[in-house]
Amino acid sequence: MGRELGKGMARPGDMLFGRRTWQDFVTAWGRSTDGNPFTAHMNAATKYVVSRSLEDADAWRNSILLRGDAADTVAGLKAQPGNDLSIIGSASLVRSLHAAGLIDRYTLLIHPLTLGSGSRLFEGPAPLTEFELIGSVTTGKGVIIADYIRR
């Protein structure tokens, strides 16, 4: 799984976070100096944080706070020239951006287990969206990593 995820991180790109996920990642990755290649990638990447309540994004270097409505703010960011954006976690942000038609590609990690509860990735109002599977890999532990693009 690490090898496959590393391929995605090897491509240039910026990261997009919701407030809660960004705050969790600051704790886990932002202060780490463990030599892990994911740490180096995330610390070097530009990180956009969509939040109405966060006062600043100074706790993790290369972080930029985006205030206001997530769909409007991200649509403006996507309209500018620059790197691709990727989202890790941030389910409520993904839902709002999906509903606005702003997500072009999904990489889903499907783990062979059931939790019994939790939030769904696609819940609430969202437009009918068709995707095309462009690649998949199954890890030795049975995790399916599936890449989809919007049709």
Of residues 78 and 1, the one with the higher pLDDT is 78
Distance CA 27, CA 10 (A): 23
Name the pLDDT band for 93 (thresholds 50, 70, 90).
very high
Output the pLDDT for position 124.
74
- Spell out where 8-130 has E strands: 14-18, 47-50, 63-66, 85-87, 105-110
Closest CA to 63 of 48, 50, 52: 48
Output the pLDDT for position 131.
93
Which residues pair with residue 86 across a beta bridge? 15
**Average pLDDT of the chain, as a whole number:** 86
Distance CA 41, CA 94 (A): 22
Output the pLDDT for position 119.
76
Distance CA 67, CA 132 (A): 32
Predicted TM-score (pTM) of the model is 0.84
What fold is seen in the domain 2-150? Dihydrofolate Reductase, subunit A (3.40.430)
Give the CA distances from residue 102 to residues 40, 92, 136, 145, in Å, rounded to whole numbers and listed in that order. 27, 14, 22, 21
Of residues 96 and 117, the one with the higher pLDDT is 96
- Spell out where 19-151 has E strands: 47-50, 63-66, 85-87, 105-110, 131-138, 144-150
